[in-house]
Amino acid sequence: SQQGEEDPQALSIQEGENATMNCSYKTSINNLQWYRQNSGRGLVHLILIRSNEREKHSGRLRVTLDTSKKSSSLLITASRAADTASYFCATDAKDSNDYKLSFGAGTTVTVRA
Amino acid sequence: NAGVMQNPRHLVRRRGQEARLRCSPMKGHSHVYWYRQLPEEGLKFMVYLQKENIIDESGMPKERFSAEFPKEGPSILRIQQVVRGDSAAYFCASSPQTKPGNQPQHFGDGTRLSIL
């Protein structure tokens, strides 16, 4: 079954606004990662947060992790047109071998100019 | 360009033909992962290889699909006797260590396979 599930499926915002998307997962994890995928391209790694971390920042990105709720959120502040993409969370289940990453179906973000 | 290189970017095959997808990992990376992505869906793990070894192929269909990562040359994902349901984007990723959960994976731009 899908380990990571993103919510919402799609998000449309105005340039300059913030975008927030969530990821829920089912089993205990070692780490959670967020990736971005532009149309027709491969995935680009954005940020990794370990299970013992609660929050992490990278530029305009802020990721939180709540292991008690098995959920994570990705916040993009002051969005730009270039942020238009699909965003995926990926987890590695604690009981599995570390190489297996499970991806959700993604959140498609459209930033309007 | 030291990134993960996949070719071809687009591949069209007729039902029953064979499809060969190639992936050259990033320089210095010896671990390769193949994923399949259907439209509007996330990536599904297929197979994990190290040089000359298949470590885990649990996500790969047992029939018609095979993968290799020879000592020299790119990793190859091979699909024999393709069917319409094989139409998808196939992505390759690489990493330098055996614990991708602790490291980002580096992805190629994928091969979009279309079956007529």
Task: Write out the DSSP string of B15-60.
Answer: TT--EEEEEEPPTT--EEEEEEE-TTS-EEEEEEEETTEEEE-TTS
> What's the pLDDT at B36?
97
> Out of B98, B109, B110, whose CB is closest to A99?
B98
Coil, strand, or helix at residue A60? coil
Q: Element (H or E) spanning B95, and its range?
A: strand B88-95
Report CB contact under 8 Å: B109, A41: yes
Give the pairing type, strands B19-24 and B10-13. Answer: unpaired
**Mean pLDDT for chain B overall:** 92
Coil, strand, or helix at residue A82? helix
For B7-49, the pLDDT digits (tens) are 999 999 999 999 999 999 999 888 999 999 998 788 999 999 9
**Across A88-99, average pLDDT:** 76
DSSP letter (8 states) at residue A94? T
Coil, strand, or helix at residue B100? helix
> What's the pLDDT at A11?
95
> Out of B99, B103, B108, whose CB is closest to A42?
B108
> What's the pLDDT at A30?
86
> What's the pLDDT at A100?
75
How many Cα atoms sit within 13 Å of A23 on the Cβ side?
A: 32
Residue A2 has pLDDT above 60, yes or no: no
A5 → chain B, closest CA residue: B42
How many residues in total does chain A contain?
Answer: 113
> What's the pLDDT at A54?
97
Structure tokens at A37: 């995928």
For B39-93, the pLDDT digits (tens) are 878 899 999 999 889 999 999 999 999 999 999 999 999 999 999 999 999 999 9
Does residue A42 belong to the interface with chain B, where contact is any CB pair within 8 Å? Answer: yes
**Across A87-113, average pLDDT:** 84
Exposure string over B30-49, b if 16+ CB within 10 A, otherwise e: ebbbbbbbeeeebbbbbbbb
For A20-61, the pLDDT digits (tens) are 999 999 888 888 999 999 998 999 999 999 999 999 999 999
> What's the pLDDT at B101?
63
> Out of A40, A99, A105, whose CB is closest to B100?
A99
Q: Best interface-test mutation with A: which of B24, B105, B111, B114 has the largest number of A CBs within 10 A?
A: B105
Are the C-beta atoms of B110 and B3 separated by less than 8 Å?
no
> What's the pLDDT at A3?
60
| Percent of chain A scoring above 70 in pLDDT | 91
Residue A111 has pLDDT above 80, yes or no: yes
> What's the pLDDT at B39?
83
Q: Which residues of B touch A (CB under 8 A)?
A: 4, 6, 31, 33, 35, 40-45, 48, 55-56, 91, 93, 98-110
B90 → chain A, closest CA residue: A42
Distance from the Cα of B17 to chain A's closest Cα (Å) equals 25
